[in-house]
A and B are shown apart, each in its own frame.
Chain A
Amino acid sequence: MKKIIALLFFGTTAVCVSAQDQPSGPVTVHTLAQMLRTQLTITPAWSASLISGDNNASVSGGRTNVYLHGTAEYYWDERFSTRGDAYYLINKSKEKGGIKHNPGFQVGTSYHLIKGSIIDPFIGIRAGLNITQINPMDFNDSLTLTWLDYNVPAHVDPTWAPVVGVNFYGERIFHFFVEGAYMMGTYRPAMGPQLSLEEFRLSVGLGWNFSLYKPVEAVRQKI
Chain B
Amino acid sequence: MKKFVLVTALLIAVTAIGQSKFANKPGGQLTLGIRSATSLFSDESGVGTGFGGQFRLRFFHLLNSEWFADYLTSDLYNGLGNRTDYHIGWSVMFYPSFAYRQNERLKLQPYLLAGHCFDYTRCESNVLFEPNVASRWSSAVQAGLGCHLPLHDRLDLSFSAQYMMHLGTQINAVVRKNAGGLEYLYFDEAQESGLEGHLLLTVSLNVRVADLWKNKIKGVQDKKPVEEQQ
Is A189 positioned at the interface, with any CB of B under 8 Å from its CB? Answer: yes
Question: Shortest CB–CB separation between residue A111 and chain B, in angstroms?
Answer: 8
Q: How far is the CB of A204 from chain B (nearest CB, A)?
A: 26
Size bracket of the A interface: 20 to 34
- Contact of B128 with A150 in the complex, beta carbons under 8 Å: yes
CB < 8 Å neighbour of B182 from A77, A142, A147:
A142
Decide yes or no: A109 and B182 within 8 Å by CB, A158-B71, A190-B124, A190-B126 being known contacts: no
Residues of A within 8 A of B152 (CB): 76-77, 80
Asked whether A70 is an interface residue with its Cβ less than 8 Å from the other chain, the reply is no
Are B79 and A82 neighbours in the complex by a CB distance under 8 Å? no
Complex contact B131–A160 (CB within 8 A): no
The 4 A-B residue pairs with the shortest CB-CB distance, nearest first, are A127-B36, A143-B180, A142-B180, A158-B51
| Contacts A/B (CB < 8 Å), 8 sampled | A79-B151, A107-B34, A109-B157, A141-B178, A191-B126, A193-B126, A194-B75, A194-B82
Is there a chain B Cβ closer than 8 Å to A128's Cβ? yes
In the assembly, what is the distance between CA of A181 and CA of B79, in Å?
A: 26
- Residues of A bordering B, CB below 8 Å: 56, 76-77, 79-80, 82, 107-109, 125, 127-129, 139, 141-143, 145, 147, 150, 156-160, 185-186, 188-194
B69 contacts across to A, CB distance below 8 A = none
Say yes or no: B71 contacts A186, CB within 8 Å.
Answer: no
Interfacial residues, chain B to chain A (CB-CB below 8 A): 34-37, 49-51, 71-73, 75, 79, 82, 84, 124, 126-129, 131, 151-152, 154-155, 157, 178-182, 203, 205, 207
- The residue in B73, B79, B181 that gathers the most chain A C-beta atoms within 10 A of its C-beta is B73
**Cβ contact within 8 Å between B51 and A188:** no
Interface pair A158/B151, CB less than 8 Å apart: no
A186 touching B129, Cβ below 8 Å: no
Determine the distance from Cα of A189 to Cα of B128 in the docked complex, in whole angstroms.
11
Given contacts A76-B154, A127-B35, A192-B126, 9 further A-B contacts (CB under 8 A): A77-B152, A125-B203, A142-B180, A143-B180, A186-B73, A188-B126, A191-B124, A194-B75, A194-B79
With known contacts A76-B154, A158-B50, A194-B82, A145–B129 Cβ distance under 8 A: yes
Give every chain B residue within 8 A of A188 (Cβ-Cβ): 73, 75, 82, 84, 126
Report yes or no: B75 in contact with A186, Cβ–Cβ below 8 A.
yes
CB distance from A84 to the nearest CB of B (A): 10
Residues of A near B127 (CB, < 8 A) are 191
